């Protein structure tokens, strides 16, 4: 069969060129399709074509590509690479051609074709990429493909199942070498453009860019396995934007990924987030992420510092600090910046909760004890907690403080500071009162702790309480005898015990328990 003569299309500047070109969509036969595409596209490289003529050529190609036989020839011979991709004035019709290809065969569009267009028109390129993603079989989950014609609820169930399976994927151990285990990047090279082109981060399209990344991550398991970390890091990088709307959208997207259990990496620009907390317009968004995010790798003293500042009046900051105190690195940061211990976050009771969280980490207790001044400030502040609506709070606070004191590694310096700041006087004054017998046990514990370290004047001041507890003959009497025995290492205490004639009292008793004998031995009454 004789092939079509294309001589009438040799000179794009000829007055009959446009007229001849207009006939092509209705007269071009399939066997002439290859020759036509090759010839007409070569004109862009070999001849100076006006923009009007160039657009007419591209419009003609668009019309041809609506016909299946011509479309397939165009795709099979990779004519997309011959398009005048660098000519910005022709970009609309080039995008129309790519739009047709995206609808019919998205894998026929390569990164090479998209890259120059993305530089010039990133906004429109994103819409094209979104269509390619929706049509590309390699980006569809197997279960979604199988359920393509099922009811909506069936599709939803299969999708949820797919997402739940992602929980078993250890994305924290993912690194760049993981790409070798997947063929997605090799088969769809345009995906790499998403992570390498800075054009998509421009203010006019950054939010659409984020939406596309989240869509791909949300709807494609293969994309998730290969690119979850890159998506996370890309969205995090947009937190550096100078545009508040983009920053807010990035925060919302990260929260969406966490809330829907799509992914949650522990790598975040925490120092940058700290800066956002100082900006009123971004505070709400930043706190929303901090309340949700993973702190396992958080090492930002700047963030802790500003959270402490906000926590005096902002409950969200307090919640973040409480979450932070559940991690070892968070506890290290809280101990290093220990100024919060004597403040209300936003109240003293919340500060006590935070301190207790820190104290739960046994490995860091020694480090905590070195912050003597702030620990003493905390104890003094916590001891003054009152609540008229809760009369039992006094005993609760004393109980908690006693537990805290028993967990903190005591040394002579800490005891001397507690004495100097009159904490011991206040503590023993409350716990040794006769009208609060429930607090007696908490007094005995702390008397022993102090006595194990060194002598302070408060030990002599509690002698009357010890004698009363011994004579009371209740559940605390034996403990009181052991505590009194512990005080006998200090001559000031021995003198006062003898002055109160407690030795004679015990010797006159009808009983002879091991606790009595230990006390009598300690004070030198028996051997």
The model's pLDDT over 230-275, given as tens digits with 9 standing for 90+, comes to: 999 999 999 999 999 999 999 999 999 999 988 888 889 999 999 9
pLDDT score of 204 more than 80? yes
Please state, in angstroms and rounded to a whole number, the distance separating the CA atoms of residues 253 and 260. Answer: 11
CA dihedral 418, 424, 427, 431 (to 10 degrees): 140
For position 516, what pLDDT does the model report?
Answer: 95
Lowest mean pLDDT among 166-175, 216-225, 410-419: 166-175
Looking at residue 361, the DSSP 8-state letter turns out to be -
**Angle, alpha carbons 61-98-32 (nearest 5°):** 30
How do the domains of the chain map onto residue ranges?
1-109, 425-526
- Peptide bond preceding 346 in cis form (omega within 30 of 0): yes
> Tokens 């002599």 correspond to what residue?
460
For position 366, what pLDDT does the model report?
Answer: 95
Largest Cα span, the chain: 134
Q: For residue 311, give the nearest of 294, 336, 334 by alpha carbon.
A: 334
In percent, the amount of the chain with pLDDT more than 70 equals: 90
Q: What is the mean pLDDT of residues 213-219?
A: 94
Average pLDDT, the chain: 89
Helix axes 301-311, 328-336, angle to 10 degrees: 70
DSSP per residue, 73-140: HHHHTTGGGGS-TT-GGGHHHHHHHHHHHHHH-GGG--HHHHHHHHHH-HHHHHHHHHHHHHH-GGGS
83 CA to centre of own chain: 44
pLDDT score of 147 more than 70? no
In percent, the amount of the chain with pLDDT more than 90 equals: 76
Q: Which helix (H) or strand (E) is 162 found in, with range?
A: helix 152-165
Q: Which two tokens stand for residue 78?
A: 């990779």
CB under 8 Å to 439, separation ≥6 — which residues? 395, 398, 430, 431, 432, 433
Phi, psi of 344 (to 5 degrees): -95, 125
For position 4, what pLDDT does the model report?
Answer: 58
For position 176, what pLDDT does the model report?
Answer: 46
| pLDDT level of residue 394 (50, 70, 90 thresholds) | confident
For position 154, what pLDDT does the model report?
Answer: 43
Lowest mean pLDDT among 29-33, 260-264, 310-314, 334-338: 260-264
| pLDDT level of residue 184 (50, 70, 90 thresholds) | confident
The model's pLDDT over 453-501, given as tens digits with 9 standing for 90+, comes to: 999 999 999 999 999 999 998 899 999 999 999 999 999 999 999 999 9
For position 265, what pLDDT does the model report?
Answer: 84
Looking at residue 183, the DSSP 8-state letter turns out to be S
380 CA to centre of own chain: 34
DSSP three-state, residue 67 = coil
Lowest mean pLDDT among 60-74, 133-147, 479-493: 133-147
Q: What is the mean pLDDT of residues 127-134?
A: 94
pLDDT score of 14 more than 90? no
For position 436, what pLDDT does the model report?
Answer: 84
Long-range contacts of 82-89 (CB under 8 A, 24+ apart): 82/37, 82/38, 82/41, 82/42, 82/44, 82/45, 83/41, 83/44, 83/58, 83/113, 84/44, 84/54, 85/113, 85/116, 85/117, 86/116, 87/44, 87/51, 87/54, 88/120, 88/121, 89/51, 89/54
The model's pLDDT over 406-429, given as tens digits with 9 standing for 90+, comes to: 999 999 999 999 999 999 999 999
CA distance to 37, 167, 304, 325, per residue, from 331 (Å):
67, 27, 10, 5
For position 387, what pLDDT does the model report?
Answer: 59
């Amino acid at each position: 069969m004789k092939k079509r003569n294309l001589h009438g299309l040799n000179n794009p500047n000829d007055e009959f060129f446009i007229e001849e070109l207009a006939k092509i969509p209705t007269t071009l036969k399939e066997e002439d399709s290859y020759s036509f595409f090759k010839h007409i596209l070569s004109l862009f490289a070999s001849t100076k074509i006006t923009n009007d003529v160039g657009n007419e050529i591209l419009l003609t190609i668009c019309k041809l590509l609506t016909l299946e036989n011509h479309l397939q020839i165009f795709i099979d011979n990779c004519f997309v690479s011959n398009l005048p991709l660098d000519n910005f004035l022709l970009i609309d019709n080039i995008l129309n051609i790519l739009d047709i290809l995206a609808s019919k065969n998205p894998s026929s569009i390569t990164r090479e074709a998209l890259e120059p267009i993305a530089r010039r028109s990133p906004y429109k390129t994103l819409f094209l990429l979104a269509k390619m993603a929706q049509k590309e079989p390699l980006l569809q989950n197997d279960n979604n493909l199988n359920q393509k014609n099922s009811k909506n609820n069936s599709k939803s169930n299969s999708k949820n199942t797919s997402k739940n399976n992602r929980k078993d994927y250890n994305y924290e151990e993912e690194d760049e070498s993981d790409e070798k285990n997947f063929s997605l990047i090799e088969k769809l090279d345009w995906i790499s453009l998403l992570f390498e082109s800075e054009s998509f981060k421009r203010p006019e399209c950054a939010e659409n860019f984020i939406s596309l990344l989240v869509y791909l991550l949300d709807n494609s398991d293969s994309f998730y396995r290969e690119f979850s970390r890159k998506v996370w890091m890309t969205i995090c990088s947009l937190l550096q934007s100078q545009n508040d709307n983009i920053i807010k959208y990035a925060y919302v997207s990260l929260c969406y990924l966490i809330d829907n259990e799509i992914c949650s990496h522990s790598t975040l620009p925490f120092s940058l987030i700290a800066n956002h907390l100082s900006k009123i317009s971004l505070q709400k968004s930043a706190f929303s992420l901090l309340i949700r995010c993973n702190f396992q790798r958080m090492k930002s003293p700047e963030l802790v510092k500003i959270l402490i500042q906000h926590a005096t009046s902002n409950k969200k900051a307090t919640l973040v600090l409480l979450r932070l105190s559940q991690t070892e690195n968070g506890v290290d940061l809280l101990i290093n910046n220990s100024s919060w211990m004597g403040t209300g976050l936003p109240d003293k009771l919340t500060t006590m909760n935070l301190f207790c969280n820190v104290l739960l980490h046994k490995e860091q207790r020694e480090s905590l004890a070195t912050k003597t001044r702030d620990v003493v400030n905390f104890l003094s502040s916590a001891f003054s907690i009152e609540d008229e609506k809760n009369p039992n709070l006094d005993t609760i606070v004393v109980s908690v403080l006693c537990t805290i004191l028993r967990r903190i590694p005591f040394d002579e310096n800490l005891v001397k500071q507690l004495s100097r700041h009159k904490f011991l006087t206040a503590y023993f004054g409350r716990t040794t009162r006769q009208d609060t017998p429930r607090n007696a046990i908490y007094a005995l514990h702390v008397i022993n702790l102090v006595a194990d370290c060194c002598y302070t004047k408060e030990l002599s001041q509690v002698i009357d309480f010890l004698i009363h507890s011994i004579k009371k003959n209740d559940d605390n009497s034996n403990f009181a005898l052991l505590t009194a025995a512990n005080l006998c290492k200090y001559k000031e205490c021995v003198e006062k015990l003898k002055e109160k004639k407690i030795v004679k009292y015990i010797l006159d008793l009808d009983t002879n328990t091991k606790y009595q004998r230990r006390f009598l031995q300690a004070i030198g009454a028996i051997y």
